[in-house]
């Protein structure tokens, strides 16, 4: 009985065709990565940052700061001119249906408005949840996390940047004084600006309209739904009964690590979330 000896390794190697195909594939993939590299990297980086942010938030336990996405779409044109009146789509409500921000022709330049990403996608804080002199939530803030802080009338107040980034607007009250914090990423590394939040003694509570105007967040007031935007002198009303009025800027917060802030101000007041229960009302 004969047997044929076979070398377990083929000495001839792979044919040139598969090698060429593999080389072409590698070159094509390299070209795709080079062409799409920056955008792909940006997307991956943004995704990693969002995952990291969500993980950090879950660990700390901030209350009521999740985004509020909506799949609602405007019924046709989102920017409407009707005689002397202008209507800007303001989202959909399960009871009220489609809502509209009202203004006068000339109040807004359509070419400077980005399309809506969703009214109150960033759910502004109307009823702050705070801890003072330590607490279960503030005690879990990592030392390396940034906060925007100020000492107002002798009271240290800290606003975690992770929270501000999710809510955009904080309608706060410190020692009976209504204040508004508007989150910004200052190119110089400074903290967010803080504004007075009263007009003729009336408390103003602002939220995010879903639009950006001239590249800046377009805000609205909860009572009359007039539109407001940040200017050099403060937050200015562009429409509604308070048109032309200004929420005066009173300063800018200091941005630093929680470690540095808490060491300097051991009895600090810290924003740790928002009360979004049905019975909660703005201050």
Judge whether residue 223 has pLDDT over 70.
yes
Its sign, for the CA torsion 90, 91, 94, 98, is: positive
Q: Is residue 140 part of a domain?
A: yes
Mean pLDDT of 156-160: 98
Nearest to 105 by CA among 83, 88, 136: 83
Q: How confident is the model at residue 192 (pLDDT cuts 50, 70, 90)?
A: very high
Give the pLDDT confidence of 70-90 residue by residue, as tens digits.
Answer: 999 999 999 999 999 999 999
Q: CA 28 to CA 201: how far, in whole Å?
A: 66
Q: Is residue 11 part of a domain?
A: no
Q: Is residue 225 part of a domain?
A: yes
Predicted pLDDT at 66: 87
Q: CA 212 to CA 88: how far, in whole Å?
A: 12
Give the pLDDT confidence of 224-260 residue by residue, as tens digits.
Answer: 999 999 999 999 999 999 999 999 999 999 999 999 9
Q: Lowest-pLDDT range, 50-54, 58-62, 214-218?
A: 50-54
Q: Is residue 24 part of a domain?
A: no
CA distances from 260 to 87, 110, 138, 196, 255 (A): 47, 44, 14, 27, 10
Q: Lowest-pLDDT range, 33-37, 158-162, 197-201?
A: 33-37
Q: Which helix (H) or strand (E) holds 102?
A: strand 97-104
Q: Is residue 186 part of a domain?
A: yes
Question: How many domains in the chain?
Answer: 1
Q: Is residue 189 part of a domain?
A: yes
Q: Is residue 32 part of a domain?
A: no
How many C-beta atoms surround the C-beta of residue 11 within 10 A? 5
Q: Is residue 169 part of a domain?
A: yes
End-to-end CA distance of the chain: 99
* Residues contacting 61, CB < 8 A, separation 6+: 136, 137, 140, 272
Domain that holds residue 138: 79-274
């Amino acid at each position: 009985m004969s047997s044929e000896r076979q070398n377990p390794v083929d000495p001839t190697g792979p044919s040139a065709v598969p090698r060429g195909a593999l080389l072409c594939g590698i070159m094509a993939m390299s070209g795709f990565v080079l062409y799409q590299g920056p955008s792909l990297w940006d997307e991956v980086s943004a995704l990693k940052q969002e995952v990291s942010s969500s993980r950090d938030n879950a660990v700390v336990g901030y209350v009521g700061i999740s985004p509020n996405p909506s799949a609602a779409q405007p019924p046709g044109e989102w920017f409407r001119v009707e005689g002397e009146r202008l209507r800007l789509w303001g989202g959909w409500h399960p009871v009220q249906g489609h809502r509209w921000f009202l203004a006068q022709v000339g109040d807004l330049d359509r070419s400077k408005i980005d399309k809506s990403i969703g009214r109150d996608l960033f759910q502004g804080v109307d009823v702050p949840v705070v801890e003072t002199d330590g607490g279960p939530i503030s005690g879990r803030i990592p030392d390396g996390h940034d906060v925007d802080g100020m000492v107002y009338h002798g009271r240290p107040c800290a606003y975690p940047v992770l929270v501000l980034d999710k809510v955009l607007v904080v309608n706060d009250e410190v020692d009976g004084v209504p204040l508004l914090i508007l989150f910004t990423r200052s190119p110089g590394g400074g903290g967010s600006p803080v504004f007075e939040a009263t007009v003729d003694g009336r408390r103003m509570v602002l939220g995010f309209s879903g639009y950006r105007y001239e590249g800046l967040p377009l805000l609205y007031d909860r009572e009359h739904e007039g539109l407001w935007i940040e200017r050099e002198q403060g937050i200015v009303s562009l429409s509604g009964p308070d048109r032309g009025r200004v929420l005066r800027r009173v300063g800018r917060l200091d941005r630093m690590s929680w470690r540095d802030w808490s060491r300097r101000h051991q009895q600090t007041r810290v924003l740790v979330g928002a009360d979004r229960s049905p019975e909660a009302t703005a201050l």
